[in-house]
Chains A and B, each alone.
Chain A
Amino acid sequence: MAQATSPPEVVQEDRSRRGGYSSDAAGLGRGRAAAFVAPALLLIAVFLVFPALWVLYLGLTNYRLTGAAAAEPQFVGLDNLIEAVTTPELWNSTWLTLQFVLGSAVIGQVVLGFTIAWLMRDRTGPLKRAVEGLVILAWILPSAIVSFLWVALLDADDGTLNAMLGIPGFPWLLDHPMLSIIIFNTWRGTAFSMMLYGAALGNVPPSHLESARLAGASGWQQLRDVVFPHIRGHILTNLLLISLWTFNDFSPFLLTAGGPDGRSEVLAVHVYKVALQSGELGHGAAVSTVILLINLVVAVFYLRLLRSKK
């Protein structure tokens, strides 16, 4: 790559840097890019990767919070894992979790969040602020308080919903526990998708939409041809994160305690019961490992789905 005949005027120090500066947009170069990434990676390594690997290791022991196994945990290899995957409860929980994720995250939060972001995209003023404020409020209220709100809403005898529908005594949480927690979680989590899509829609150049509108595209066609291609990356991220979080969401416990009869015991609740209530941390860690693997499958599925369309 070198070229021999440089003019004599060339400043000497520049010679050593021949080809040495980077050609990315901001001229960061790998060295500086690494420096930008380093502090985040350091925190992640110490406070995330290390403890996470520790959890995976705990899954291979019979560690408990108390009792003799707390003093001297034994290495049990894959016993926990095998026990976990051979109990029907786990697969029941997995199935319920899939319903929960699909219903509340993929269908509920993503669709509702996008719809609100789309409806509000060109608006300003009190209506937008009211809608967004309420949606966000549902999201940021601490779960300890939210559970009371929803019990007050869904209670069979005194609940607001039954009073409004005129069907006192209808036990939503008992007869339709999954539907209840799905709607609950949709209510609770829509804000994130709304905000993400709101910000993403802000990045769609309005001129693109204008030209599509001039070309006579209907609302749906505008979405499909202009908006979706533009925010595909955000959709992927959104789906991935929302699914991941919903997989690990513990808040259904506050509403149904996993019941009745385990009919709403999603995986996160299962882990909570095993690890915290029963104190079987080793077993709980093994179930966490299983959840991790399921999450991995889901993530790969999304990647395939959205990459293939590119």
Chain B
Amino acid sequence: MVRKRSMSVVAAIAAAGLGLAACGQSSGGGGDTVELTIAANAIAGGKNSASAEHITKWVIPKFEEAQKAKGKDVTVKFVPSGVDDEQYKTKLSLDLKSGKGADVFDFDSIWVGEFAEAGYVKPLSEFVGPEADSWDGWAQIPGAVQEMASFNGKKYALPVGTDGRVLYFNKTLFAKAGLPADWQPTSWQEILDASAKLKSAGVPVPIQLNAGTAMGEATSMQGALPLLAGAGGEVQQDGKWSGASQPVKDVLGLYQKIYGGGLGDPKLQQEAKGRDKSFQQFAEGEVGILLEGDYFWRSVVNPKTGVAPMADRDQTVGYAMIPAIEPGKGIHGQDFVSMSGGGVRTVNPNSAHPKEAFELLTFMLSPDALREETKDGNMRITPRTDVNKEILAGDPLLTFVSEKVLPVTAYRPPLAVYTQVSVALQEATAAIVSGTAPDQAAADYQKKLEGIVGGAGNIAS
């Protein structure tokens, strides 16, 4: 008797374990009501809190209302996240691979290519219909920004925003070093000269140029890549990757002059939380020049909501465009360069209601929605020129970026292998910081590159 009972108890526990779980879920999407979900790496009270609140408090009720007016019963649910980009990407990939995921989701434009190759996203016109191409908003989005959401000439998503990188500088320190408050260098040498003056004026960190692997992608975006563009190079061009080329050597040479010449703090580049510290140091007036994105202005030194707030930001923080190595020697013969990234938003190819989902997509990029989203100090550069003109007026830096920087900016190649190339580039800068010669570091970079992109045949040097 006892034996039987103990056996059955055990079996019951095991069965309950799997059985219960199996009945735990019910599939959504009933008859008349269209249920949509929208996912973004944003969460109320945390990362990108304002976007999350915009979605839940404005987009969803307004969209549902608008649909109701058209006689459609649509409910939208927001699935928030608030994690590292890599983790968000992992989760998205796993969801999409399994045919799950939200109907509408945000992701980084740099992933468009790899997601498209993996079949996680599809050209919008293929499954949404012709309205994807005929959306009137496209006319308001600059070609370069449209390109961000495209792959192999097809539109996979709608861009939701973009950014640009500039040189920030501390006017107080500049005054101390006898430098002008409207500083605008036109060559790398001028940057080095200014740094040297800051150094003699006793500024602890004359210039902070992100380097090394600890900073991760920040080293590429706020360091190696804009400089590469300034030296007239691109990390990948016409299907060939840039190896130990002259531009790469020039970039590494500049790093060498800064960190070998005592103009930057090499230790800061190696610390795991070095970037956070560089922000704090800038806010505390210890950094003279800093290459950063507009995000730094909006979210780091923002007097109200920043993580390293500067009460006198508008008076103290100056900004300048990133010059080419010498005038006219930048990419496409430019005098000034920058790098941009940005988010895109698309419809899940697995969505049961792609048309409604696309409507939500366009609704969120309507001028009204963008205006609503960017009010109350939550300013950012939207993809629409018409909206930007209107909303950015109050913010000098964003206007500056939108008007001066975006026309000269460049984007990263949207390929899966880029992340590894980026790491190799970061390693090359790390080697410089710890004393390797630029030529040697460039040669090592090329060797590494060959392993990543599949042989020397894919490399131009």
Contact = CB atoms under 8 A, between A and B. Distances in A.
Interface of A: 31-32, 35-36, 38-39, 42-43, 46, 64-71, 147, 151, 155-156, 171, 173-174, 253-262, 273, 276-280
A71 B86 contact: no
A262 to B, nearest CB: 8
A257 B215 CA distance: 9
A278 B423 contact: yes
Contacts of B94: 65
Contacts of B267: 156, 171, 174
A171 B6 CA distance: 61
Given A171-B267, A255-B272, A279-B419, A36 B10 contact: yes
B416 A64 contact: yes
Across the A-B interface, give the 4 residue pairs with the lowest CB-CB distance, nearest first.
A67-B416, A260-B270, A70-B118, A66-B114
B174 interface: no
Q: How large is the interface on B (under 10, 10 to 19, 20 to 34, 35 or more residues)?
A: 35 or more
29 contacts: A35-B6, A36-B6, A36-B10, A39-B14, A43-B17, A67-B114, A67-B415, A69-B416, A70-B93, A70-B114, A151-B272, A151-B273, A173-B272, A174-B271, A253-B272, A256-B272, A257-B214, A257-B272, A258-B214, A259-B213, A259-B214, A259-B271, A259-B430, A260-B214, A273-B423, A276-B90, A277-B423, A279-B114, A279-B416
Contacts of A259: 212-214, 270-272, 430
B111 interface: yes
B178 to A, nearest CB: 27
Contacts of A35: 6-7, 10
Contacts of A46: 18
A261 B120 contact: no
Given A35-B6, A39-B13, A39-B14, A277 B118 contact: no
A226 to B, nearest CB: 38
Nearest to A265: B213
A262 B14 CA distance: 45
Given A38-B10, A68-B117, A257-B216, 9 more contacts: A35-B10, A65-B89, A71-B119, A171-B267, A257-B214, A258-B214, A260-B212, A261-B270, A280-B420
Interface in B426-446: 430-431, 434
Interface in B108-126: 111, 113-115, 117-120
A173 B271 contact: yes
B271 A277 contact: no
B57 interface: no
A39 B10 contact: yes
Given A39-B13, A65-B90, A66-B93, A71 B270 contact: no
B62 interface: no
Interface string B227-246: 00000000000000000000
Contacts of A32: 3, 6-7
Contacts of A66: 89, 93, 111, 114-115, 117-118, 120, 416
B418 to A, nearest CB: 10
B86 A276 contact: yes
A156 B271 CA distance: 10
Which DSSP category, helix, strand, loop or mixed, fits chain A's interface?
helix
B420 to A, nearest CB: 5
B114 A261 contact: no
Contact of B270 (A69, A174, A277): A174
Given A35-B10, A43-B17, A71 B271 contact: no
B97 interface: yes
Nearest to B281: A157
A163 to B, nearest CB: 16
Contacts of A36: 6, 10
Nearest to A36: B10
A130 to B, nearest CB: 30
B117 to A, nearest CB: 4
Interface in B201-239: 212-214, 216
Given A257-B213, A260-B212, A277-B86, A67 B117 contact: yes
Given A151-B272, A173-B271, A70 B423 contact: no
Interface centre among A156, A174, A273, by most chain B C-beta atoms within 10 angstroms, is A174
Given A151-B272, A151-B273, A259-B430, A67 B118 contact: yes
B88 to A, nearest CB: 11
A65 B273 CA distance: 27
Interface in B1-37: 3, 6-7, 10-11, 13-14, 17-18
Contacts of B11: 38
Interface centre among B89, B118, B434, by most chain A C-beta atoms within 10 angstroms, is B118
B83 to A, nearest CB: 10
B218 to A, nearest CB: 12
Contacts of B273: 151
Nearest to A43: B17
Nearest to A260: B270
A64 B86 CA distance: 14
Interface in B275-292: 277
Contacts of A260: 212, 214, 270, 430, 434
Contacts of B214: 256-260
A31 B90 CA distance: 44
Contacts of A67: 113-114, 117-118, 415-417
Nearest to A46: B18
Contacts of B7: 32, 35
A71 B117 contact: yes
Interface centre among A31, A254, A259, A273, by most chain B C-beta atoms within 10 angstroms, is A259
